[in-house]
Amino acid sequence: MGTTTRSALEQEIDQLIRGEHGDPHRLLGRHGLEVRAYRPEASAMRVVEANGKKIDMRRLHPAGVFTAETTTDEPYRLEVDYPDGNTITVEDPYRFWPTLGELDQYLLGEGRHHRLWEVLGAHCRVHQDAYGTAFAVWAPNARAVRVVGDFNLWDGRVHPMRSMGSSGVWELFLPDVGPGCRYKFEVLTQQGHLLLKADPLAQQAELPPGTASVVTAPDRHQWGDGAWLAERDRQDFHRRPLSVYELHLGSWRRRTEEGGRPLTYDELAEELPAYAAEMGFTHVELMPVAEHPFGGSWGYQVSSYFAPTSRYGTPDGFRRLVDALHRRGIGVIVDWVPAHFPRDEWALARFDGTALYEHDDPRKGAHPDWGTLVFNFGRNEVRNFLISNALYWIEAFHIDGLRVDAVASMLYLDYSRKEGEWIPNEYGGRENIEAIEFLRELNDVVGSEHPGVMTIAEESTAWPGVSQPTGGGGLGFRFKWNMGWMHDTLEYFEKDAIYRRYHHDRLTFGLLYAFSEHFVLPFSHDEVVHGKGAMLTKMPGDDWQRFANLRALYGWMWAHPGKQLLFMGGEIGQWSEWSHDRSLDWHLLEWGSHRGVQELIRSLNLIYRDTPALWAEDFNPEGFRWIDASDSDSNVLSFLRFGDGKVMACVANLSPVVRHGYRIGLPEGGSWREVLNTDATIFGGSGVGNGGAVWASDHPWHGLAFSAEMTLPPLGVLWLAPES
């Protein structure tokens, strides 16, 4: 330390021993030819020079601080004796330069480091000719930070980290530490409290209920989806078919012969792509894949944003699952949760003893319904953390879409709060301006860097322009879940047919706003939990009517403007609600009625994908025309879909009676093929129909130049297309 006096040196050593030294490299490591080292409770230490020469070190402090003059400035190792007779030889972490450059630190402070996962967290690398792991964590208000783990017996005294100044980052390179080591950060707060925290940028976590982070090997997966990604980025997804199968990885299928355990990522890679492709879905949407503490949840309380949950395997295992889906032509959407995070003391909450990721004031920083904390979207580093995380899933795992959860809770300062429990914005309003700007920035960054990737908002209010470009004042999402359509449609179908005439508007109202956003029509996981019943049990009537109603509901949904999303189990007519600790009831497929529902979903998807009229103009009012929306007494509705020069007619009879000779107006004459009939026997129906086709004569009806008389099956939906 050059001119540093003995007393100053002693003060620094005392600070080190107390665990309060913010720059241990200034004290330890090589300084000229002098080497200083600290190993708690060591009885003796020696410097081992590159040529093998050993130099005894002189004790500076009884706690284990030693010094020695070396003969060369080349790399060295330390030989440490302990009172129990053990001797170990280790690299000295304090001889290494920082692994973060000045540009990284500058971008971190500006909140513009969009590849945050490349510099923070734990990274195996070769640094100054030594292999080890570089640790870095953002904790700007900490007095000191230490890294602890398997490699130092969780003793925070051994490895204090170096403060990187105004960036708020603490850094340390540990040679000889490699993949699989568990670790955490020991954070000393300004108040003197010691916190033990998981790494916010950890790319792997140990299996819950353990909470440690895990050092991860660099990505070794050899991707085989280059053709998929190239084609994805060329497509206009608004004018493409999108039919999404939403599933919870841990309860889709289980190994009953092995105690009902969940499938691993690799087992899912063998089974899920084939099933999704066979069923005709274009995409799967996976429930929150990021690590979360409680397995009985959906996973929306995320504790490690950069770590795929270890419940089903390793990060590379998850990569293999995504790759396998892509190779079968199936896109992958993951649920993403930037709205809030749990209060677990070992995770993000008050990370450095202050409200670092959250707001300090609970009127802005605490969510009353979920018992969680709200991100501080006004802080550059927090926005950077979240945007970087979104890009991480896209780039590290080739994800094709992010479904953003709980957007409404982000947009409104008074969301689920009573008077006095929230703070108005600077203009006195209830809009969360900081969250709005964050969402726009997120969507602009993703859209600019990955134009083929979708962002999808789960937003339950009438906020305008959710899926409109930010340049025009929108939020910039590519799609928005149509929660209003979902609730109205289910409310109608849950009614007994005799009462439906009084609720006819539930099915027609949605078309008044259907083209104001880029909508996804969701029958999601939220509709089959907490006593809401399964999709099948929502339907009224006896068992025959329940199945017929469910088939009609799906036939109506797939023909309606907008993209489709269906939660697992809905495609087999599951009777029971979702449960996290058991599989779907696949045994139901032994029954014809359940096989019929599954075959219907498969047929809907396959016909839909080959029918541009059902998706090419989903968001253009010219792609839709009512034939008749007014026959409430008969519970019959009919409409036309147009796209790429094609037309499809949809006729729904949502009454349990057969209607013979029912006249429907059509835009073309001649034969119209019965493309789909939800009452067909192959789907478990009664087989009432029109022998495969109807004939449209030049008899004007419903304002159209042609019309056809047809038989409408009970609780059935027909799709008709002109033979020409």
Question: What would the pLDDT profile of 67-84 be if each residue is shown by its tens digit?
Answer: 999 999 999 999 999 999
Q: Considering the candidates 92, 104, 285, 458, report the single residue annotated as catalytic.
A: 458
Q: Is the pLDDT of residue 712 over 50?
A: yes
What is the residue extent of each domain of the chain?
Answer: 6-91, 102-214, 243-337+376-480, 622-722
Kindly report the number of other CB atoms within 10 A of residue 379's CB atom: 18
CATH number of 243-337+376-480: 3.20.20.80
What pLDDT band is residue 1 in, cutting at 50, 70 and 90? very low
C-alpha 441/C-alpha 430 separation (Å) is: 20
Question: What would the pLDDT profile of 154-207 be if each residue is shown by its tens digit?
Answer: 999 999 999 998 899 999 999 999 999 999 999 999 999 999 999 999 999 999
What pLDDT band is residue 8 in, cutting at 50, 70 and 90? confident
The pLDDT value recorded for residue 276 is 98
- DSSP designation for 604: H
- DSSP designation for 574: -
Compute the Cα dihedral for 620, 623, 628, 632 and give only its sign: negative
Q: Is the pLDDT of residue 673 over 80?
A: yes
- SS3 of 92-153: the string is CHHHCCCCCCHHHHHHHHHCCCCCHHHCCEEEEEEECCEEEEEEEEECCCCCEEEEEEHHHC
Q: Which two tokens stand for residue 412?
A: 């409104």
Alpha-carbon dihedral angle through residues 17, 23, 28, 34, given to the nearest 10 degrees: -130
Q: What is the CA radius of gyration of the chain?
A: 31
* Domain over 6-91 is classified CATH 2.60.40.10: yes
Kindly report the number of other CB atoms within 10 A of residue 411's CB atom: 22
- DSSP designation for 612: G
* Range 319-341 average pLDDT: 97
- Answer yes or no: 458 catalytic: yes
3-state secondary structure of 220: coil
Q: Which two tokens stand for residue 703?
A: 């304002």
C-alpha 72/C-alpha 487 separation (Å) is: 76
3-state secondary structure of 272: helix
Q: Which two tokens stand for residue 520?
A: 């996804």
Do residues 159 and 90 make contact, with C-beta atoms less than 8 angstroms apart? no
Sort 660 into a burial class: Cβ within 10 Å, 0-12 / 13-18 / 19+: exposed
Which of the residue ranges 116-120, 395-399, 417-421, 520-524 would you say has the lowest mean pLDDT?
417-421
Q: For the chain, what's the residue count?
A: 724
Question: What would the pLDDT profile of 111-150 be if each residue is shown by its tens digit?
Answer: 889 999 999 999 999 999 999 999 999 999 999 999 999 9
Q: Which two tokens stand for residue 723?
A: 């033979």
* Range 400-426 average pLDDT: 95
CA 63 to chain centre: 47
C-alpha 652/C-alpha 556 separation (Å) is: 7
Pick from 451, 481, 480: which is nearest to 466 by CA?
480
The pLDDT value recorded for residue 565 is 98
Compute the Cα dihedral for 585, 588, 590, 593 and give only its sign: negative
Pick from 204, 215, 148: which is nearest to 177 by CA?
215
Q: Is the pLDDT of residue 3 over 60?
A: no
Report domain 102-214's class: mainly beta
Q: Considering the candidates 405, 434, 517, 527, report the single residue annotated as catalytic.
A: 405
Superfamily assignment of 622-722 in CATH?
Answer: Golgi alpha-mannosidase II (2.60.40.1180)
CA distances from 328 to 397, 440, 615 (A): 16, 33, 21
Kindly report the number of other CB atoms within 10 A of residue 696's CB atom: 25
The pLDDT mean for the chain works out to 95
Q: Is the pLDDT of residue 531 over 90?
A: no
Question: What would the pLDDT profile of 353-370 be if each residue is shown by its tens digit?
Answer: 999 999 999 999 898 888
* Fold match flag (243-337+376-480 vs 622-722): no
Conformational region of residue 711, where left means phi above 0, alpha means psi within -120 to 50, and beta covers everything else: beta
Q: Is the pLDDT of residue 458 over 80?
A: yes
Question: What would the pLDDT profile of 377-392 be if each residue is shown by its tens digit?
Answer: 999 999 999 999 999 9
Question: What would the pLDDT profile of 199-246 be if each residue is shown by its tens digit?
Answer: 999 999 999 999 999 999 988 899 999 999 999 999 899 999 999 999
Which of the residue ranges 9-18, 288-297, 466-475, 668-677 would you say has the lowest mean pLDDT?
288-297
Q: Is the pLDDT of residue 635 over 50?
A: yes
CA distances from 304 to 199, 400, 500 (A): 8, 21, 47
* Range 526-532 average pLDDT: 87
Q: Is the pLDDT of residue 2 over 80?
A: no
What's at 261, amino acid-wise? Answer: R
What pLDDT band is residue 61 in, cutting at 50, 70 and 90? very high
Q: Is the pLDDT of residue 299 over 90?
A: no
The pLDDT value recorded for residue 529 is 85
Do residues 413 and 424 make contact, with C-beta atoms less than 8 angstroms apart? yes
Do residues 346 and 328 make contact, with C-beta atoms less than 8 angstroms apart? no
Torsions phi, psi of 136, nearest 5? -155, 140
Alpha helices by DSSP H, 279-404? 315-327, 362-365, 380-397
Q: Is the peptide bond before 209 cis (omega within 30 degrees of 0)?
A: yes
What pLDDT band is residue 271 in, cutting at 50, 70 and 90? very high
CA 455 to chain centre: 11
What pLDDT band is residue 6 in, cutting at 50, 70 and 90? low
* Range 268-288 average pLDDT: 97
CA distances from 552 to 174, 356, 556, 715 (A): 62, 51, 6, 6
pTM equals 0.95
pLDDT above 70 covers what percent of the chain?
A: 99
